[in-house]
């Protein structure tokens, strides 16, 4: 989040926006000697207010008052908004979940049966009957129960009549990101409201939690992909998830990285991509080794090629076209926002709808402004040469990479985009086992970006799989 002073003294003047704050006696078109002190005092006021709010919440938690969104199965007491009471509609569902789990049913089985019975999900219940959601938030609600939802209910001590708060906190007063709080710092107060399950049933459900599912702890390798947060889907940009299992000791053969955003529960599902873990491991390892082996002369040639592309006339025209397109779109967005506010004032557009539409447009405008800033920024040759030097200074610390691990990957690679498989002409699926196909793999290195314009790889690979792939 930007400081207020940034908008008042830089953002607005640069865009010729006349900003006036009557209460603070501030005018962006006049000299404001006291402005820095005013902004500093406003910052102090903000932090002091945040501290006082935290103190009030801390006091309420110590008394066992529930100052958060009520969990599924409960609602706020109409006579005391800080106290929970059972929800007549959803409390029996929670009790049923605990009884089924205590009887030995797995979370997956419980979720499947609840979905088949048409039982409303917690988020759908909040959207329809309890809380006010934006259109974007409401779209996330589905009619399908899943393993995680059931598991969270079973593990929640609130159903024993205890209040458990303070599991997370905001990173700072200006951040929306929440970070986990150590368990010893959680605030637990017993017997604050009516329980939905007795202690014996709760303990049985905890003991049976996870039974009936495969214990993957004996297959540690399956759960520890080195590409987490780095490998993304080339179609939708979402992170690729590790999937697959071990069959008759063939570990690498059935281990894939795949896009889970293709699920139908998403509003705009991706068509999805997948790739064998061992194949991606080998592609990245070999590409890194090819860069490590480059001589000083070859590196110098590579840098000169990059500089020539930057200064190329056609590239410059393309850059100018992108800038013009972004500016045109920004003008359209500004006009659209103005029209939306006019329609709202005339009663043609509801406040809730206005808020969602303006937020989406402002988000798009922010992205365009960042893109314009990047496109308009100069690209000094010295900076490019410096970035390449930083990368290859790191590369010089290695002679060859025989085993690609997480630390080495994070040292060199920023992002990997995996594209869809390209099968032979006329085929939707592979015509036979181990049939040849192509797949794009774009590797974006730290400091220097993506070096290969042609990113298609041929599979199945004829090359020998690395020692790491065999050991996985």
H or E stretch covering 389: helix 381-395
Q: Where are the domains of the chain?
A: 4-62, 74-208, 227-293+401-472, 304-382
How many whole angstroms separate alpha carbon 468 and alpha carbon 472? 6
| Token representation of residue 400 | 């060859």
State the Cα–Cα distance between residues 273 and 232, nearest whole angstrom.
9
The phi and psi torsions of 440 (rounded to 5 degrees) equal -85, 135
Topology of domain 74-208, CATH: Hect, E3 ligase catalytic domain fold (3.90.1750)
Return the pLDDT at 468.
Answer: 41
Cα–Cα distance, 220 to 202 (Å, whole number): 29
Task: Write the DSSP string, 75-88.
Answer: EEETTEEEEEEE-T
Residues 411-433 pLDDT 10s: 899 899 998 888 776 565 655 66
Going by their DSSP bridges, the two strands 187-189 and 163-165 should be labelled as antiparallel
Residue 41 to residues 7, 18, 34, Cα–Cα distance (Å): 16, 23, 11
Identify the pLDDT of residue 291: 92
Inter-residue contact 272 to 262 (CB < 8 Å): yes
- Say if residues 7 and 35 touch (Cβ distance below 8 Å): no
pTM to 2 decimal places:
0.42
The CA-atom distances, in angstroms, between 364 and each of 11, 12, 312, 329, 358 are: 17, 18, 30, 10, 10
Q: For position 222, what pLDDT does the model report?
A: 44
State the Cα–Cα distance between residues 25 and 21, nearest whole angstrom.
6
Q: Give the burial string for 81-92 (b: 16+ CB within 10 Å, else e).
A: eebbbbbeebbe
d(CA 34, CA 49): 23
Residue 187 has a CB neighbour count (10 Å cut-off) of: 16
pLDDT of residue 205: 87
Chain position carrying tokens 């006339």: 313
Q: What residue ranges of the chain have pLDDT lower than 50?
A: 1, 215-217, 219-222, 462-472
Under DSSP, the state recorded for 129 is I
Pick from 53, 92, 90: which is nearest to 71 by CA? Answer: 90
């Amino acid at each position: 989040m930007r400081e207020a002073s940034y908008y008042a003294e830089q953002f607005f003047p640069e865009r010729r926006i006349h900003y006036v704050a009557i209460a603070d006696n501030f005018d962006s078109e006049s000299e404001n000697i006291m402005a820095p002190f005013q902004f500093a005092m406003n910052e102090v006021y903000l932090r002091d207010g945040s501290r006082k709010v935290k103190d009030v919440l801390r006091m309420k938690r110590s008394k066992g008052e529930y100052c958060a969104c009520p969990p599924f199965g409960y609602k706020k007491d109409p006579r005391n908004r800080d106290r929970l009471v059972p929800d007549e509609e959803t409390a029996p569902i929670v009790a049923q979940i605990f009884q089924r789990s205590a009887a030995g049913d797995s979370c997956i089985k419980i979720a499947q049966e609840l979905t088949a019975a048409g039982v409303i999900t917690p988020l759908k219940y909040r959207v329809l009957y309890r809380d006010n959601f934006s259109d974007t938030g409401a779209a996330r609600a589905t009619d399908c129960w899943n393993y995680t939802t059931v598991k969270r209910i079973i593990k929640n001590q609130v159903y024993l009549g205890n209040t458990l708060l303070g599991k997370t906190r905001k990173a700072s007063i200006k951040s929306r990101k929440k970070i986990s709080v150590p368990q010893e710092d959680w605030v637990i107060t017993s017997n604050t409201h009516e329980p939905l399950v007795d202690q014996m049933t709760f303990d049985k459900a905890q003991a049976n939690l996870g039974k009936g599912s495969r214990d993957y702890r004996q297959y540690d390798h399956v759960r520890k992909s080195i590409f987490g947060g780095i490998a993304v889907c080339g179609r939708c940009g979402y992170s690729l998830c590790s999937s697959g299992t071990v069959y008759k000791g063939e570990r690498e053969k059935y281990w894939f990285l795949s896009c889970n955003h293709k699920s139908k529960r998403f509003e705009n599902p991706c068509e999805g991509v997948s790739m064998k873990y061992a194949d991606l491991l080998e592609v990245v390892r070999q590409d890194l080794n090819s860069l490590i082996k480059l001589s000083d002369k070859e590196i110098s040639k590579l840098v000169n090629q990059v500089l020539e592309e930057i200064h190329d006339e056609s590239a410059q025209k393309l850059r100018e076209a992108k800038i013009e397109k972004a500016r045109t779109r920004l003008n359209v967005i500004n006009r659209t926002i103005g029209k939306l506010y006019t329609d709202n004032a005339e009663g043609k557009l509801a406040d809730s709808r206005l808020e969602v539409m303006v937020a989406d447009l402002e988000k798009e405008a922010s992205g365009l402004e960042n893109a314009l800033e990047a496109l308009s920024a100069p690209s000094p040759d010295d900076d490019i040469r410096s970035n390449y030097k930083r990368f290859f200074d790191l590369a010089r610390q290695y002679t060859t990479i025989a085993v690609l691990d997480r630390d080495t990957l994070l040292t060199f690679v920023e992002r990997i985009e995996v594209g869809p498989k390209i099968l032979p002409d006329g085929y939707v699926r592979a015509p036979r086992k181990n049939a040849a196909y192509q797949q794009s793999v774009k590797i974006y290195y730290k400091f220097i970006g993506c070096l290969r314009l042609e990113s298609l790889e041929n599979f199945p690979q004829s090359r020998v799989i690395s020692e790491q792939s065999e050991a996985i």
